Amino acid sequence: MIVTLTPNPSLDRTVALPGPLVRGGVNRLTSVVTDPGGKGVNVARVLVSSGAEVTTVLPAAEHDPLRAALDAVAQPGLTVTAVTVPGAARVNTAVTEPDGTTTKINEPGAELGQAGRAAIEEALLAAVGAGGRTGEGDGAGWAILSGSLPPGAPTDWYARLVTLLRPTGVSIAVDTSDAPLAALAAALPDAAPDLIKPNGEELGQLAGLPAERAMALEDGALAGDLAPVVDAARVLVDRGVTAVMATLGPAGGVLVTAEGAWHAPAPAIDVVSTVGAGDSSVATQPADAAAEVHAFAAKSEPTPPTSASDLEPISPADADPVDDLPF
């Protein structure tokens, strides 16, 4: 069983345009779709579609439309644990163009105070149970903490959650960005999760690379130079993270552990939308880290997990060291 946490859930509204977005003009839509969202919710839905048993924990007001949206997409194997809090869930809007260009407009979310955070922590620990890493019995094998943090939550809340969960023996994955990701990195190795999933730019920032070099990691990988990605990920592995799974858009994904590094190339496809692509990568069989790297970054729909035999080993001899690393 797998548990996901979405501290800042949303109603995701995807609107499609018949042509390029016209800034400052009138844009007429061809379709509007509203789904329950937030990274942990997206991860849970992909996992359940793959046959996993999942409990997803999230805050939601008693009569929040988010609850009705979750009921509308109910699936066998998916248990929703909604912790009642004041304030409505945010509405995030994704504007998609025919060529796959996606513009995201995200609300900050409702304020989550100390009482709400304590209730969520209690619900998360209850969902995880005492099953440990084997996932046997009633306990969870993995806890996946995903997404942004709502207003009112301290930036180091994920680091606190990792330390709270660690005594249960559950494996822990974290997928976040910006200040919460930086706070998690600052708390290493004490708050080191078993898996983190940064994109190229986030990975470079975590490794202390200058902004230009961090932003260039994905472009370099697309050109075939994976060495800087591997070296940046090894900085985090050396600081206690068991596995770093970096998603690199059309360049695919790279998994780095203490045992080695592997590359999963992305198939060449026509991009429809990138919404949920990174979330889908987190959902690829977290019980087997070597098999979970998957090139989802340009996909419009989730696909079955990549097997370990599909991954391409990266020889350490092929990786030139990345200099200027701060650790």
Q: Catalytic amino acids?
A: 279
Q: What span, in angstroms and rounded, lies between the C-alpha atoms of 135 and 88?
A: 34
The residue type at 320:
D
Asked if 4 and 41 touch (Cβ cutoff 8 Å), the reply is yes
Task: Using alpha carbons, select from 157, 156, 230, 243 the residue that is nearest to residue 193.
Answer: 243
Residue 321: alpha-carbon gap to chain centroid:
27
The percent helix, strand, coil of the chain (3-state, each to 5) is 35, 20, 45
Q: What span, in angstroms and rounded, lies between the C-alpha atoms of 249 and 266?
A: 8
Q: Which residues pair with 56 in a beta bridge?
A: 4, 80
Q: Which residues pair with 263 in a beta bridge?
A: 254, 312
Asked if 66 and 36 touch (Cβ cutoff 8 Å), the reply is yes
E strand map for 17-166 = 31-37, 54-60, 78-84, 90-96, 102-105, 142-146
Strand, coil or helix: 80 = strand
Task: Using alpha carbons, select from 206, 177, 163 the residue that is nearest to residue 8.
Answer: 177
Q: What span, in angstroms and rounded, lies between the C-alpha atoms of 174 and 160?
A: 12
Phi first, then psi, for residue 312 (nearest 5°) are -100, 115
Sign, Cα dihedral of 307, 247, 237, 282: negative
